[in-house]
Each structure stands twice: as C-alpha cells, then as structure tokens.
Chain A
Amino acid sequence: MELSDSLLIAGVRRGNDDAFDALYRRYYRQVHAALMRLVGEEDAAQDLAQETFLRLHRRPPGDSREPNVGAWLYRVALNLGYNALREARRRQARQEHAARVAIGGDVADPALATERNEEREQVRLALTKLPANYQAALVLRYQGLAYAEIGRVLGISANAVGTVLVRAEKQFKARYLEHGAAPGGHNALP
C-alpha cells in the first residue's frame, strides 16, 4: 500500500529516514527532469537535485504552509536551478573582469554544456533568458502539470496560469529567434 505524501512528510518531520527515502524515490526523477531543462548538464542537475532533497530533509515543509510535497520540491528545485545559473553567469562575468578576487576550486559550471544536442541547448538558452517565474511555468507545463498544480508551485491561482503561460511562451519565442545575435561567452555556437 502506498503511503500518502502528507503521511510521509509527517514522518520526515519526526526524523523518520524511511519516510524520507520513500519521498526521495517518489519524486527524484521529476525533480531531476525539471532541473535538466534548466541547467542542461547531468552533473549539475544531480547536484542540484541532491540540494533540493537536502532541504527537504533538513527543513521539511508543513506547519502553516504548503503541505503539497510535489509543488514544494519543484519550487525549491527551480529556485536552486535559477540561482545556480545566475551565479554561474555572474562568475563568468567576474572572471572576464581584470582586478577581481581569484576564484579557486573546481566548480561544475552549469551554464557550460558539454556534449549536448545543439537544438536542445538552444532551447535551454532561450528558456534561461526568461524571468524566473516564466521559466518555472514553462518547465512545469511541459513536465505535464495541470494549471492547478502549476499554480500551487508558483503561488498563483489556476486562472492566472494561463496568462503567465501566454506571456512566457511569447518571450520564449522571441528569445529563441534572436539567439543568433546573443552575446558570446562560453556558449558560442559554431
């Protein structure tokens, strides 16, 4: 018999490792898939997925808010993905600047895709140029979520989701079509 999310989340709050493992296995693939859409690179997606579940483990949702585990996980994962991309972009900008503090360490740079299908990478680049909530709306929609579920992750009503999608897709199309004129950096296409 499969236990419900709310039962499992209650277990996690009590420190029950088995409950956590069950949620981890239940949602890992979805979280990973959403992150792949954003960062496009396996190592980074796995790292960020681990981060997402680390948050679940450390501070499981509940109390007054959001008992919807799936929505919570998506929200955390998308925020982490978005922040990681932004940080990588900033780091890239800083490294190109002369007198800056040297950044050591071997850090997986999620904005640098290694061997990727070119078309997929174009899509991903266009996607990551959008504001955070538009990125989230599109990723979630094409993960197959219904409006009500998307609304839960984004914190808006189901009715508002349609409007967000319209704007997001319009911007996505614009970004995608202009990619040829996009600024250079490590993602220069041949």
Chain B
Amino acid sequence: MRCPEVGILRAYLDGELPADRRTELAGHVAACAACAAALDNLREVAQFAEARLAVPPVAFAGPIPAFHKPERFAGGPRVLPVTWLDHLTTMRARGAIAGVAAALLVVLLAISPVRLAAQDFLTIFRVQTFAAVTIDPSQLPFDWRQLDHLPSSAVVAPSGKVAPPEVKEVTAAEAAAALDFPLRRAKYLPASVSGQQRNLLSGSAEFSFSVDRNVASNVLQSAGIKDFPLPAGLDGATLTANVPPVFVTLYGAPPSGPFLVYVQTRGPTLEVPDSVDVDALRQAVLALPNLPADLVRQLRAIKDWRHTLVVPVPPGTHEDITVQGVPGLLISDPDQGTAVLWQKDGIVYGLYGNSSRDELLRVANSIS
C-alpha cells in the first residue's frame, strides 16, 4: 500500500478507520519509517490539543433555562451592526461595490488605476432583481476572511484625480434637484422612529480596473484556489463599475435606538468589454472544486444572472416577498435587524432597521 495521507493517519489515531483498513495501515506503518515518523508527529500534536481541549468547559449546572418564545423584536436587537451604517455613511470605495457577482469578479482581478478609455461595452450588468443565496461561511473551501485584505481599488473620477465618493447631508429638496429620478417618500413610519430625520446624498463613483493574469492568479492562490481557468479575454481587459448617487434617509436614532434607513438609488452597474467571455467565467466560478453543492445549486438557479444582485445571507434568514407589486427580498436576523430590498422602474429601494418585519413591510408598501 502507498503511504497514506495525513487525514487517514489521523483517522487511524482516532480509531475511525474500519477494521480491515486499520490492519492494513498498521502493517504499513510498521514497515515504513516515513509514515511511522509522521504518525509520531501527528500523535504529539493531537495529544497537545487533546490535553487542552478535552477538558470540558465549566459544566452546565442546574436545570435547563426556560425557552423564551419569540416576541418580534421587543426592545430591539442586542447588538447593532455599525458596519452597514458605516458603509452607507462613509461610502468607502470597496464597500460601494455591491453584490457577490461583483465581489467574485473582484477576487479574480488585479486592481489598478487606469485612465478611462472609450470602449465598446457589450455586457452591462445592471440590477433588476435580487436573489438571496444562503452561505454558511464555515463550509467555504477557502478562508473567506482573506477577502478583507484584498488590495483596494483607486477610484478614478472623470477629471483623472483619485477620490472616494463624497457624502453630504442635504435637504430633500436639494437631493431631488440633484437626482435624475423622482424621490419617493414613505407615507407610513413606525411610531418609534418618526421625528428625527436626516438626509444623506453620495456623489457618484466610477471604478475602472484592469486584469493582470499573474496578479489574479496570486490573489486566488492566497485564497486557496489553485488552477482557476481565467478566460483568455480577461487578461488586460478593463472593467468599469459605476455606482450612481445614493440617497439615504435616516429616521430615528441609529444605531442604539430604534431606527430606519431608507435607500433610493439607480443601482450599480458593471461594464465588461465584449472580449471577455462572461459565461465562461461564470461556469469556471461555479465549477470551483469543493464549493458547497447547495451554494452552486442556488447560484445556477438564478436565471437572469446578469441582472440579479446576489446577496449572501446566513441560512434561514431570507424570504422572497412582493413589495409594491414587484418581487423583493426580505432578510431578517435577530442581531442584525431586518432589511427589505426591491427594484421598481429602474430604481433600487432598500429599507433597513430594527423594527419588526411586518412594520418594515408596511413602510415599504406605503412608499409612493
């Protein structure tokens, strides 16, 4: 028998191998010095861990506490995520590129500032609908937290200077004058958040980035993805993400008190030159080894993927709903609050707050 992998040796140590394999392996180890040494090594590390981890944590004393039947968001979530609000109010360059579709491309790309060149863009990704994709981070085959450390893009404004999009506090009238779509107000607001209101408007931003095959390869390798087949046309291609102005109305007292965030925007677009075979790219991503089958199934099921903003959510937190007569997405989480997303007449709407699901839907349907 050939020298087994470490996983098998470990299983052997744990008594997890079936009898016949166990005997076979024992015989091999007796004859193979390398494996015997490897086994000793494993045993030592395993004993180190066991000595410390096998100690049970402080034993749970006493009777099992009563289960608190759920009361919808009584008193608000315990821990409020400032991160969503941070992204909205600081509009950091990377945070403004929304959606897993764009995020997956960012993983693949080497990001460097380039001058905008006049190009013929064939494929334009635009948000027309939302799809929630449940992702269990512990199941991903790579360390997804590494994505936080990607090189950040430089934002190239038309004038050629590098600048993040500006966020200003404005009146509703100023915003209406600056935007190219009509602003809609929510007629209904939960009592707990009416009163204080602030309006923020971000400038638009455009990011151009080009792909360098070698750098992309390195980025993928560092995330644990080897031999990813980058489509030929991607090398040297320039992609442009456009984030139009975002108008945000903040009600209530974020983040510690009851609050509601109402977002209106045209939605980001991603322009890809026709030399890039986006279908091939999508197939390559879906074919990544060890992607959870369930995740692949969900992604494949998205028919209109060029116009679908994919929102990653933990399992069990989303609902497909109808809002204002169009399909929308509701995401709720006891810690993070509730969000409702939908697109109507070319405008993306979002509501986010710590009111109940029903309250939020009521607000959403009261918008006109």
Q: Which residues of A contact B (CB under 8 A)?
A: 20-21, 24-25, 28-29, 32-33, 36-37, 40, 42, 46-47, 50-51, 53-55, 57-59, 65, 75-76, 78-79, 82-84, 87, 90-91, 94, 100-105, 107-108, 117, 119-120, 123, 127, 131-133, 136, 138, 141-142, 146-147, 154-156, 158-166, 169-170, 172-173, 176
List residues of chain B with CB within 8 A of the CB of A141: 53
Taking the closest CB of chain A, its distance from the CB of B83, in whole angstroms, is 7
Taking the closest CB of chain A, its distance from the CB of B177, in whole angstroms, is 29
Q: List 22 A-B contacts (CB under 8 A).
A: A36-B60, A54-B70, A57-B69, A58-B316, A79-B136, A82-B138, A101-B82, A101-B255, A103-B255, A104-B256, A105-B78, A117-B58, A119-B52, A123-B55, A133-B138, A133-B139, A146-B16, A161-B7, A162-B8, A169-B49, A170-B45, A172-B49
The answer, among A37, A101, A166, for a CB contact under 8 Å with B254, is: A101
The answer, among A29, A101, A166, A169, for a CB contact under 8 Å with B85, is: A101
Query: Are A87 and B57 in contact, CB atoms less than 8 angstroms apart?
Result: no
B50 at the interface (CB under 8 A from A): yes
The answer, among B10, B55, B255, for a CB contact under 8 Å with A120, is: B55
Question: What is the CA–CA distance of A90 and B79 in the complex, to the nearest angstrom?
Answer: 12
B236 at the interface (CB under 8 A from A): no
B158 at the interface (CB under 8 A from A): no
The answer, among A37, A50, A79, A90, for a CB contact under 8 Å with B137, is: A79
The number of inter-chain residue pairs (CB within 8 angstroms) is: 152
Q: Chain B: which residue is nearest A132 at the CB level?
A: B138
Q: Chain B: which residue is nearest A137 at the CB level?
A: B138
Query: Are B7 and A54 in contact, CB atoms less than 8 angstroms apart?
Result: no
Query: Are B6 and A162 in contact, CB atoms less than 8 angstroms apart?
Result: yes
List residues of chain B with CB within 8 A of the CB of A33: 56-57, 60
Binary contact readout B97-120 vs A (1 if CB under 8 angstroms, 0 otherwise)? 000000000000000000000000
Interface centre among B9, B80, B83 (most CB of A within 10 A): B80
Binary contact readout B8-24 vs A (1 if CB under 8 angstroms, 0 otherwise)? 11110010100000000
Query: Are B256 and A105 in contact, CB atoms less than 8 angstroms apart?
Result: yes
Q: Top 6 closest A-B pairs, CB basis?
A: A104-B256, A163-B7, A162-B7, A36-B57, A162-B10, A162-B11
Question: What is the CA–CA distance of A104 and B79 in the complex, to the nearest angstrom?
Answer: 10
Question: What is the CA–CA distance of A133 and B292 in the complex, to the nearest angstrom?
Answer: 13
Q: Chain A: which residue is nearest B42 at the CB level?
A: A166
The answer, among B58, B78, B315, B334, for a CB contact under 8 Å with A42, is: B58
Taking the closest CB of chain A, its distance from the CB of B48, in whole angstroms, is 5
Query: Are B68 and A50 in contact, CB atoms less than 8 angstroms apart?
Result: yes
Known: A79-B136, A103-B256. A142 touches B54 (CB 8 A): yes
Taking the closest CB of chain A, its distance from the CB of B347, in whole angstroms, is 28
Question: What is the CA–CA distance of A90 and B68 in the complex, to the nearest angstrom?
Answer: 28
Query: Are A32 and B60 in contact, CB atoms less than 8 angstroms apart?
Result: yes
Known: A162-B7, A163-B10. A51 touches B334 (CB 8 A): yes
Taking the closest CB of chain A, its distance from the CB of B230, in whole angstroms, is 26
Query: Are A169 and B45 in contact, CB atoms less than 8 angstroms apart?
Result: yes
Query: Are B138 and A75 in contact, CB atoms less than 8 angstroms apart?
Result: yes
List residues of chain B with CB within 8 A of the CB of A21: 67
Question: What is the CA–CA distance of A46 and B60 in the complex, to the nearest angstrom?
Answer: 10
Q: For chain B, residues 46 to 100, give those with C-beta under 8 angstroms from any C-beta of chain A.
A: 46, 48-50, 52-58, 60, 64-65, 67-70, 78-83, 85-86
Query: Are A138 and B53 in contact, CB atoms less than 8 angstroms apart?
Result: yes
Taking the closest CB of chain B, its distance from the CB of A158, in whole angstroms, is 7
B143 at the interface (CB under 8 A from A): yes
List residues of chain A with CB within 8 A of the CB of B53: 37, 123, 127, 138, 141-142, 172
Taking the closest CB of chain B, its distance from the CB of A114, in whole angstroms, is 12
Query: Are B7 and A155 in contact, CB atoms less than 8 angstroms apart?
Result: no
New A-B pairs, 19, CB < 8 Å, besides A147-B11, A173-B49? A28-B64, A33-B57, A37-B53, A50-B67, A51-B335, A79-B138, A79-B314, A84-B335, A101-B82, A123-B52, A123-B53, A141-B53, A146-B16, A147-B14, A154-B138, A155-B139, A163-B6, A166-B45, A169-B46
Taking the closest CB of chain A, its distance from the CB of B142, in whole angstroms, is 10
Interface centre among B7, B80, B145 (most CB of A within 10 A): B7
List residues of chain A with CB within 8 A of the CB of B83: 90
List residues of chain B with CB within 8 A of the CB of A83: 335
List residues of chain A with CB within 8 A of the CB of B8: 159, 162
Known: A101-B254, A103-B82. A131 touches B7 (CB 8 A): no
Q: Chain B: which residue is nearest A136 at the CB level?
A: B138
Taking the closest CB of chain A, its distance from the CB of B195, in whole angstroms, is 17
Taking the closest CB of chain B, its distance from the CB of A177, in whole angstroms, is 9
List residues of chain B with CB within 8 A of the CB of A119: 52
Query: Are A162 and B14 in contact, CB atoms less than 8 angstroms apart?
Result: yes
Taking the closest CB of chain B, its distance from the CB of A24, in whole angstroms, is 5
List residues of chain A with CB within 8 A of the CB of B315: 76
The answer, among B64, B80, B292, B334, for a CB contact under 8 Å with A103, is: B80
Taking the closest CB of chain A, its distance from the CB of B332, in whole angstroms, is 9
List residues of chain B with CB within 8 A of the CB of A40: 57
Query: Are A162 and B292 in contact, CB atoms less than 8 angstroms apart?
Result: no
